[in-house]
Structure 1
Amino acid sequence: MKYLGYKGYTGSIEYSQEDNLLYGKVLGIKGLISYEGETGHLLEADFKEAIDVYLADCKAAGKTPEKPFKGSFNVRIPATLHQKAALLAMETKTSLNNLVAEAIRSRVTKESA
């Protein structure tokens, strides 16, 4: 397992040899939510507790919790690549967004295999 997951949040798994400790942070949000543990089970328990505390704190403050990986992001590419992609999208009667999503899906699927 490369990541921890809980209630739609994803957390990293790191190891500090100096401290002989596992630690991590929640990925895909601006705020910092960190956790640690001496074993994998303790790390996962602290991760879940950190998420629960974060959600409870947001609720108590009347704030909307950050949603990780919202499905929207900006990508900067060379103008020539943008042009080629836009023209290909038009030729294949799809949107540029769908073309990019399919390219990413293809790469992610290939990497996961």
Structure 2
Amino acid sequence: MNSTTGITSFVGHLLGIVNVIGFHADNVADLRAAFEDAFEDYRETCTALGKSPEKPSSGKLMLRIPPDVHGAALVAAKAAGTSLNQWAAKVLASAAHT
């Protein structure tokens, strides 16, 4: 709480988007509504500008993992009848809930 004004400020950050979206409120319930309004405005603006609201990704991913994990992943991919890349993409998609 700000001791000068007696107002508590909540600040939020959205992962995976290019821009900063500002929203604020004095309590959690209002913060949720302010977030939803701000994000909807952001999506509408992106649509009007013809751009994606999500941060672009290259599709390239370099991982450093322990050799035993690498070996186990190679065996799992082979058992699934896929390449390590295809297997890893499926596992990552599942873990990311996409």
Instruction: List alignment gaps of at least 5 residues for structure 2.
Output: none
TM-score, length-scaled by structure 2: 0.60
RMSD after superposition:
3.3
Aligned-partner Cα distance in 2 for 1:73–1:35? 33
Q: How many residues align?
A: 86
Instruction: List alignment gaps of at least 5 residues for structure 1.
Output: 1-16, 109-113
Corresponding residue for residue 37 of structure 1: 25
For the 8 Å contact 1:33–1:50, the answer to whether it is kept is yes
Larger gyration radius, structure 1 or structure 2 = 2
Shift in Å at residue 39 of structure 1? 0.6
Corresponding residue for residue 91 of structure 2: 101
Distance 1:37 1:44, change over 3 A: same
Between the aligned residues of both structures, percent identity stands at 26
Aligned-partner Cα distance in 1 for 2:25–2:60? 32
Shift in Å at residue 29 of structure 1? 2.1
SS at match of 2:75: helix
Runs of 4+ in 1 over 3 A off after TM superposition: 94-100
- Give the structure with the higher percent strand: 1
Question: Quick one: which amino acid aligns to residue 40 of structure 1?
Answer: V
